[in-house]
Homo-oligomer: A and B are copies of this chain.
Amino acid sequence: MRYKHLAIAFLLAIPGAGFSQTNSISGFGETSSKQEATIEGQFDGNLSAQNISQYIKEMSARPHHVGSPGGKQVAEYILNKFKSWGYDAKIESFFVLFPTPKERVLEMTAPTKFKAGLKEMPLKEDATSGQAAEQLPTYNCWSADGDVTGQLVFVNYGVPEDYEMLERLGIDVKGKIVIAKYGHSWRGIKPKVAQEHGAIGCIIYSDPADDGYFQGDVYPKGAYKNETGVQRGSVLDMPIYPGDPLTPGSGAVKDAKRLDQKEALNLLKIPVLPISYKDALPLLKALEGEVAPESWRGALPITYHVGPGKATVHLKLSFDWQIRELRDVIAKMPGSDFPDQWVIRGNHHDAWVNGASDPLSGQASMLEEARSLSVMAKSGWKPKRTIIFCAWDGEEPGLLGSTEWAEEHWDELQDKAVTYINTDASGRGFLYAEGSHALEGFVNEIARDITDPQTKISVLDRRRARDIVDAGSDSKKKELIGKKTISIGAMGSGSDYSPFIQHLGISSLNYGYGGEDGGGEYHSIYDSYDDYRRFKDPTFEYGVALAKTAGHSAIRLANCEMLPFDFRTFFTTVKGYANDLISMSDQMRENTELENQIISDQQYKYAADPTEKIQAPSPKSEVPFLNFSNLQNSIEDLDKTTSSLSEAISKAKTSSTKKDQINKSLYQAEQKLLTDAGLPRRPWYKHTIYAPGLYTGYGVKTLPGIREAIEQRNWKEAQQQIEIAANIISKFNAYLKSVTQQIQ
């Protein structure tokens, strides 16, 4: 077997076609680069697509949400695997609030009677789809209990700008029940914004335009959502804080001090329920009033109206609000040289139902990485730094397992954690990478050295090809062609990296493959092994590619002499964010002035059809000139500092002990970007550069304190946040200078 693998490695050793001996690796010397390449070759040789398939099949055999028998079984399955491979592994438990449905009723009471089925159809083509007894019913976790009846209003995607349009249409949702489409924001934003506008209930449905037959053939003929499919999911207000709502900032251990449920600031007060497009159709068809604006309309065969009118619905939901046991599986492979420097690799194991894709595709890759390392360890190899594998529980309801663990171990993590490497659902297609921008060059080297299973070019070149082809303008295409690298995304939320980077300031990476694995199985009973092997990654070769991507990252970070943090990329990226904010505020100023003039000239009034309800938008407050100079100066200082640091690192000829100290200084640098006070109105989020948006959810806001203040037109706060960010970046700059001096 070994011979065959080496032969393949040799064949692939051509320039630009995947792994190559000729590429130098940052953080390693010339000799150690070659050794590292050999080690990675061995690591890759151990990986098996068949194993990944088998792990997914076994772990997705039954539903395994938080607190379920299946959940316990999966945690133990993972624990036993780690133990069998020789890891120091254990289950670490937390005790968290987790509501499950007791009663779910949705019915239309006027103008005609209709009772929603609220049931996904089992299919003979999908072996696990009929496990009704163990499946969580379709629901949104953290909906409030409620029994409400009201007129129905269609609110498009239910994001703030949709309510601006409703205001122009003279429609108030106060005392009404809203129905919103899934999409265009994280789901939790929809009931939150509805609640802020006085709605008494919220229904979310998957429109076939976004998630159904408009996209492609529906399951089981094709991958897309059939008429009964429903997206479950959390509606915790995670942009306030993730994790157990009752223990913000500290680990939910057995005897932890807990808030009263009413004190938890991230819990909704109104009931919310997700439904299928089959259940949504009669409701939407019954709506009257204005025809919905064109961009609001979906692919159901009806005229979309906004309401309100005679259409009235009754929504009754109650939940079993229990404290349940979370089971994080933690497995360590101690480092030979720097056991107190931890490379942490994580992926959750809990699912809404069977979860073959989400989360088991990433979990299976992680297990295969762990197995491969264990094979190498058995032949005597050790990583220089400690590698810790974490299989999180409770990610789906709100990153519970990772957040509680990170909160519980915060001081040790801030001392020891080099980087947190996350994966989650993954499939066939292109590499997606996001993370700390000091690691952008590192990610490019990782991607350069991995071969795409389908095209046999590097996953870097493949992703670059897609970026070039998909670029929206010729100028953007030219820019991307000129650049030989890919950019990594900034981190918002939506998976377990959030507590590490945003709460603790631990540099993080998140990897996945996708873009050729479209479908509608997400958070439904159809996220099954049968679906996965047909539509997601049929050969499981992308599972292997993901194991290589995360695995090489872990091995390089664990073995390198100097950690590959390059703050020059951080500097250029953050400078770009600041420039973006400056031009955004300039554009807002010009646009506000122009629109206010158009409004005061009554052009909206005269352009409108007098027989329709739509009114002119309201004038907006004028945009003052903000003083960005302190921010600009502090960022500009980074130019020289980061260059000097980079130069010093490349010339460093220091002792091993000193390198250990320098490496520690490098991996702790990101913590200097935290503010003690945290972001306005959400102190749990402490990172000044990256945060999920208060009104986008998963979607990132960069320089979030400033950006969101500008977006909310809170000019005073915007100026305050500019000074806070400038101050933090200045301190960060001073810190990097001191690291440079430490090296020289």
Contacts and interface: CB of A to CB of B under 8 A. Distances in A.
Contacts of A477: 594, 598
Given A291-B216, A603-B465, A429 B609 contact: yes
A300 B214 CA distance: 9
B591 A297 contact: no
Interface string A466-480: 101110001001100
B468 A603 contact: yes
Interface stretch (A90-98, A453-461, A495-503): A453-461
A462 interface: yes
A648 B597 CA distance: 39
A611 B216 CA distance: 15
A3 interface: no
A454 to B, nearest CB: 5
A428 to B, nearest CB: 8
A693 to B, nearest CB: 24
A301 B202 CA distance: 25
Given A594-B477, A606-B457, A214 B303 contact: yes
B303 A216 contact: yes
Interface residues of A, number: 49
A302 interface: yes
A549 B468 CA distance: 52
A481 interface: yes
B303 A301 contact: no
Contacts of A465: 602-607
Interface in A557-571: none
Contacts of A215: 303
Contact of A598 (B300, B469, B516, B601): B469
A359 to B, nearest CB: 24
Interface in A596-633: 597-598, 601-607, 609-611
Contact of A301 (B224, B300, B464, B610): B300
A61 interface: no
Interface in A387-425: none
Given A606-B455, A607-B469, A590 B474 contact: yes
Nearest to A603: B465
A291 B516 CA distance: 14
A299 interface: yes
Nearest to A587: B474
A601 B467 CA distance: 14
Contacts of A300: 301
Interface in A425-451: 429
A540 interface: no
Contacts of A516: 609, 611
A213 B474 contact: no
A297 B587 CA distance: 35
Given A465-B603, A468-B598, A469-B604, A297 B214 contact: yes
B301 A213 contact: yes
Residue of A208, A224, A598 with most chain B CB atoms under a 10 A cut-off: A598
A470 B468 CA distance: 32
A469 B454 CA distance: 49
B213 A470 contact: no
A455 B300 CA distance: 36
A602 B606 CA distance: 52
A101 interface: no
A306 interface: no
Interface in A573-600: 587, 590-591, 594, 597-598
A222 interface: yes
A217 interface: yes
Interface in A187-222: 208, 213-218, 222
B591 A474 contact: yes
A617 to B, nearest CB: 10
A291 B217 contact: yes
Contact of A607 (B466, B474, B597, B606): B466
Contact of A217 (B303, B468, B591): B303
A604 B477 CA distance: 13
Given A474-B590, A481-B598, A611-B516, A606 B461 contact: yes
A607 B299 contact: no
A468 B607 contact: yes
Interface in A312-351: none
A156 B206 CA distance: 26
A663 B215 CA distance: 62
Contacts of A299: 299, 301
A664 to B, nearest CB: 40
Contacts of A469: 598, 603-604, 607
A218 B302 CA distance: 10
A462 B609 CA distance: 11
Contacts of A464: 603
A494 to B, nearest CB: 24
A455 B303 CA distance: 29
A218 B303 contact: yes
B455 A610 contact: yes
Nearest to A301: B301
Interface string A210-244: 00011111100010100000000000000000000
The 5 closest A-B pairs by CB, nearest first: A465-B606, A469-B607, A465-B603, A466-B607, A465-B607
30 contacts: A213-B302, A214-B297, A214-B303, A217-B303, A224-B303, A299-B299, A299-B301, A300-B301, A429-B609, A454-B610, A455-B606, A462-B607, A465-B602, A465-B603, A465-B606, A465-B607, A466-B606, A468-B598, A468-B603, A469-B603, A469-B604, A469-B607, A474-B590, A474-B591, A477-B594, A477-B598, A481-B598, A481-B601, A516-B609, A516-B611
Given A465-B605, A469-B607, 20 more contacts: A213-B301, A213-B302, A216-B303, A300-B301, A429-B609, A455-B605, A464-B603, A465-B603, A465-B604, A465-B606, A469-B604, A470-B607, A474-B587, A474-B590, A474-B594, A477-B594, A477-B598, A478-B594, A481-B597, A516-B611
